[in-house]
Amino acid sequence: MGGYDSDDESSDGEEESEEEKLASFLSRLAVDRLAVYHLAVDRLAVDRLAEYAFDIRKTMHPEEDLQLPEIGPTIFGRKHISFPLTFHDGASWLLKVPFGGNAHTYDEYSARAVRAEARTMQMLRRETTIPIPEVYAFSDTCDNKLNSPFIFLQHVKGKPAYHVWHDEKASDEALRAQRTRILQDVAAAFVQLDKFSFDQGGSLVFDGEDSEPDIDVYSAPINPCPCHSQPDDDELADMDGFGPISDTKEYFTIVGDWRMERSLSTLLTGEMDFLKMLVDQIPEPNDGRKPFVLDNRHLGLWSMIVSDDGAVQAFPYWSEPVAVPRCIGNERYPRWLMCDRDIPQFGPEENVIGWQPGRTWTDSAEELKFYRSVYAEFMRSHRSSPSEDLPAQPDLTTNSLICQSIYEAATDMACNCFIGDVFNEIKHNVRDQLTPKDVYSDDEESEDEENETENENSEKAEDEKDEDIDRKRRCRGLPIKFEFWSVIMALEEGCLPKRYNDLIRAGFDAVLQKSHTL
């Protein structure tokens, strides 16, 4: 969450000014958020901030001799601005204000989001041992002394886990220990979300302070990639209305279907049909628990605070809490361990402080594979032993590498090359079941179709020839190659052979069974 100190300085050793921090923040997002920033602060009664915080704390501790707190430099987050406050006795608070926190743009959905974030943090702090900053007060309306919705919460000192995970000054041994500690603490925290399970998927909503959360509609993510068609204002309003969803399979595809209906998707119909085949094959837990579970979809190396040795001090970022299918829920791998599978990451926009232009580290595929195995073992150590009366349960952690990739692809949020990659893995797993007709060479097939193609342009590209050959064979009901685009186009035209359908399902089952090796 933006607003948590990293104690870092800029690359030249000089501390950035407020203007430089804001300029860096805006340039990294490649979006003009300046107007949004001003909308957030123009109506915020900053001159009343210190006195308002004093009044709240005095109400909490009437016997203490308090003084007005000092307000620190503004901190710019991804969707909010924050103001640190320090009291004379050392107590440190943070005021978090959403960008949309003004009477002109604030609506019921925005109010619900503020309320859900604050109530979720209070619930987790009350019912788990997860290190959650204390929420002192919040308002989900502009009708208060600050003229803005806000959350007053505990200001936890430390640094974003990103800096400890990519600590270039640490020895190899020390770095491995720091990373292992981070993963150990994340697993110990997120396994506790098991107790918050639901019959439906969607956004968490709260009626009262101690009320149990209900599930309501949720907002779909928007792919910021410029190669994606972006929704207009009316379509954006529709994107706030998905769910609640009772079918875990539908959760994977509802957003992708919505995008395809409006010609916003980069996926072909055949690609979406292929992904739906995979979704149907995802094994569901059958252990008596509800099918959806609370998840923090913003969890990343920039959204948690750690000490120098990697011990997690706080998980402070809980905006947009959602209930998701368990196969991509609280037991999944953290997103940064899946970046080799084209899983979008939540980058430094979550916490501007300490980010340095040009200083972005990534892990090798071998490192990611190693740390996935470390995390999976931590998760296994926290799980209770299954009852002997229950059938064998899927490993939600190791399977999540595949399941999360499918969700991102079906939602049209990830690079579509994953679809071809998983097909190749499927094909590799069923290679012993393929016949010569399934893998005929281009030269052999070109000879078979010589009479039909002799009048074609001699300069036609090879890939166009292959596509034309497959099309003719599909129209004639002849076998097609068990290759990615041949299968996708057959799905597009509704003529995929049943044998290929069975091969895909068998091959994908094998992919999941081997997920612990990926």
186-244 pLDDT per residue, tens: 999 999 999 999 999 999 999 877 778 999 988 766 554 444 455 555 555 555 578 79
Q: Identify the CATH number of the domain defined by range 33-154.
A: 3.30.200.20
How much is the pLDDT for 308?
96
Q: Is 153 helix (H, G, I), strand (E, B) or coil?
A: strand
- In this prediction, residue 513 has a pLDDT band, given cuts at 50, 70 and 90, of very high
Q: Is-contact 334 312, C-beta < 8 A?
A: no
How much is the pLDDT for 196?
96
> What stretch of H or E contains 205?
strand 202-205
DSSP letter at 334 equals: P
How much is the pLDDT for 383?
81
CA quadruple 133, 139, 140, 142: dihedral positive or negative?
Answer: negative
How much is the pLDDT for 30?
38
Tokens linked to 96: 């978090």
Q: Which of the pair, 46 or 457, is modelled with greater confidence?
A: 46
The domain locations on the chain are: 33-154, 160-415, 425-517
How much is the pLDDT for 15?
60
| pLDDT average, residue stretch 309-330 | 95
How much is the pLDDT for 504?
95
- In this prediction, residue 461 has a pLDDT band, given cuts at 50, 70 and 90, of low
| pLDDT average, residue stretch 69-82 | 84
Ranked by mean pLDDT, the top range of 31-45, 192-206, 408-422, 487-501 is 192-206
Q: Is-contact 72 82, C-beta < 8 A?
A: no
What are 101-127's pLDDT values in tens digits? 555 667 777 888 899 999 999 999 999
- In this prediction, residue 375 has a pLDDT band, given cuts at 50, 70 and 90, of very high
- Report the percentage of the chain scoring pLDDT > 90: 49
How much is the pLDDT for 17?
60
Q: Which of the pair, 270 or 225, is modelled with greater confidence?
A: 270
Average pLDDT in the chain: 80
Tokens linked to 253: 């595809």
Q: Is 137 helix (H, G, I), strand (E, B) or coil?
A: strand
- In this prediction, residue 467 has a pLDDT band, given cuts at 50, 70 and 90, of low
Indicate if the pLDDT at residue 23 is higher than 80.
no
The residue count of the chain comes to: 518
Which amino acid is located at 247 in the chain? D
Burial degree of 170 (CB within 10 A; 0-12, 13-18, 19+): middle
Tokens linked to 192: 């506790």
- In this prediction, residue 1 has a pLDDT band, given cuts at 50, 70 and 90, of very low
Residue 186 contacts by C-beta under 8 Å, 6 or more apart in sequence?
Answer: 299, 304, 312, 334, 375
How much is the pLDDT for 215?
94
Among the ranges given (34-38, 171-175, 455-459, 491-495), the one the predictor scored with the smallest mean pLDDT = 455-459
28-40 burial, b at 16+ Cβ within 10 Å, e below that, comes to eeeeebeebbebb
| pLDDT average, residue stretch 314-327 | 94
- Report the percentage of the chain scoring pLDDT > 70: 72
The C-alpha atoms of residue 165 and residue 309 are separated, in whole angstroms, by: 10
CA 59, distance to chain mean position in Å, is 38
DSSP letter at 8 equals: -
How much is the pLDDT for 451?
45
- In this prediction, residue 74 has a pLDDT band, given cuts at 50, 70 and 90, of confident
How much is the pLDDT for 435?
83
How much is the pLDDT for 223?
52
Indicate if the pLDDT at residue 46 is higher than 90.
no
Which amino acid is located at 341 in the chain? R
Burial degree of 4 (CB within 10 A; 0-12, 13-18, 19+): buried
| pLDDT average, residue stretch 303-310 | 95
